[in-house]
Every structure is written in C-alpha cells, then in structure tokens.
Amino acid sequence: MKRLVLAVIFALAAPAFAQSDDDAPIPYDEGGDEIPQKKKRSKARAAEIREEDEEEAQGEKPLSNLDDPNVGLGGDIMAGLSLPDSSRGALVPRFVFGIRFTWEWGRLFTDEFIRELFFMDITWTWTSIKDGTTTVNEVTNLHNLTLAPAVGIPFGSLPVAFYGQVGIGFDYADTLLTIDANKTRLGGAKFLFQYGVGIRARPALTKDGMVRLTIRVEATRFVRGYMHDMYFAGALGLIF
C-alpha cells in the first residue's frame, strides 16, 4: 500500500519538477567565447612579432662599410738607406728611392676589424752601387719590382698599425763596367723574395675620412739569388 501511495505522489510531482526546470531563467552569456578569441589574437600577434624580430635579425648587417667612405686605394713615395749584399758584410749604406701603390683589399669585407687588417703593395725601388777605382770601376743600378700582401695589427682605435709583409717579384741589375776608356754594359734579371716589418699610420685629412695621409717606417729584406739586401726606409703618401 505504501509503495502504491509513493508511486502516485511521484507521478503527480514529476510534471511540476519538469515545469520548474523549463521556467528557469536562461543564463546570461558573459563573454565566455570572447576570452578564447582574445587569446587566439594575442598568440597570433606574438607570432607576428617573433617573425618580425627574426626577419630584422637576419637582415641586420654591419654598417661600417657605409660609414667609412675610404675605398683603400692610394700610393706613396719612399726613400731611405739600403745595404746591398749585406749578408756578405758589405755594410756601406746606399740611397734608395721608390714608388708604391697600395690596395687595402680588406675593405671588401663588412667586418670592421677585417677591413683594417689586410692590404697589398706593388712597389718599385731603385738603388745604385759604385765600386772600384778611377781606372777600373762598375756602377750597378738595382731595380726591384715586387707584389707583397701584408697584415696589419691596429693599435686599438688609433689609425696606426704594426704590419708584417711577404712578397715576390724580380730584380733587374743594370751594370756599367769601365776599364780605362772601355765601357761595357751588362744586364740581367733575377727572381726576388721580399719580407719585412713596419709601422703604418693613416690619419684622416678630411672630416669624413675619405682622404688619409699615409706614413710608414719599415725595414725590408730582399733576397736575390745568393745576395741579401737590407732596406731601411720611410714613406709618405695619400690613400682614398
């Protein structure tokens, strides 16, 4: 009997509960879908910023080659003393004169340190040797033509560098032999090997640095066959 009464009560209450659920107010949407959209937009923007930073980092290049208008081409005149055949004890100093063309080929690079590191010289030098007496003597003119790459190590931010140099070329010796009134001219060329060290200064003459003065002090040894010549010289010129 109790079970029957409970069943009847449940049957009568069920529609009321259902109606109660239907009459419940509809929950207000407080923008729950908008939050994920904002997160998506934030992630997309962050990805764009990362891409822009990566592109900027990849496209970033040193501007030292643009800041320095100096292209590294120039020349100088050199003069000093030579000790021809100094390896055999012939230590009589002779005057030496030369002309040199310089190419700072390190400026092909964009790295600021490498741009100041490498250069190359094409050099012609002349010196004369006179030996003998009034009756028998010889005058020899030595012409050296060399191509010599060099590496310069700058002294900090100063326009001064210590450099070492090695090169090759040839030596042409023009000799006039005099015996009494008879004169004989001889000439010949030999392979030449050059090596040396020096100090090179390049102070700017213009505000933008496009024109620079070059000053050198150097000691160079020339090997021609079995003879070794030592040169001590200074040079003055311009580089653009």
Residues 209 and 90 in one domain: yes
Record the tokens describing residue 175, joined without a space.
């000799």
Residues 28 and 81 in one domain: no
Residue 139 located in a structural domain: yes
What local confidence, expressed as pLDDT, does residue 191 receive? 95
Name the residue with higher pLDDT: 53 or 156.
156
Positive/negative CA dihedral, 211, 196, 231, 142: negative
| 185-234 per-position pLDDT tens digit | 888 899 999 999 999 999 999 888 889 999 999 999 999 888 888 999 99
Total of domains in the chain = 2
Kindly indicate the confidence band of residue 146, based on its pLDDT and cuts at 50, 70 and 90: very high
Domain-ending residue, one of 59, 87, 108: 59
Residue 64 located in a structural domain: no
Positive/negative CA dihedral, 117, 99, 198, 200: negative
What local confidence, expressed as pLDDT, does residue 26 receive? 56
Kindly indicate the confidence band of residue 47, based on its pLDDT and cuts at 50, 70 and 90: low
Residues 145 and 181 in one domain: yes
| 154-169 per-position pLDDT tens digit | 998 899 999 999 999 9
Residues 111 and 170 in one domain: yes
What local confidence, expressed as pLDDT, does residue 79 receive? 97
Residues 10 and 100 in one domain: no
Residues 120 and 202 in one domain: yes
| 76-94 per-position pLDDT tens digit | 999 999 988 755 555 678 9
Residues 219 and 166 in one domain: yes
Residues 31 and 90 in one domain: no
> By residue range, what is the domain housing residue 10?
2-59
What local confidence, expressed as pLDDT, does residue 180 receive? 83
Q: Is 58 left (phi over 0), alpha (psi -120 to 50) or beta?
A: alpha
Cα separation, 152 vs 138, in Å, equals: 40
Domain-ending residue, one of 59, 84, 103: 59
- What's the whole-number average pLDDT of the chain? 81
> Among residues of the chain, what percentage have pLDDT more than 90?
44
Residues 39 and 82 in one domain: no
Cα separation, 73 vs 237, in Å, equals: 11
Average pLDDT over residues 145-162: 94
What local confidence, expressed as pLDDT, does residue 150 receive? 97
- Give the CATH number, domain containing residue 169: 2.40.160.20
Domain-ending residue, one of 24, 39, 59: 59
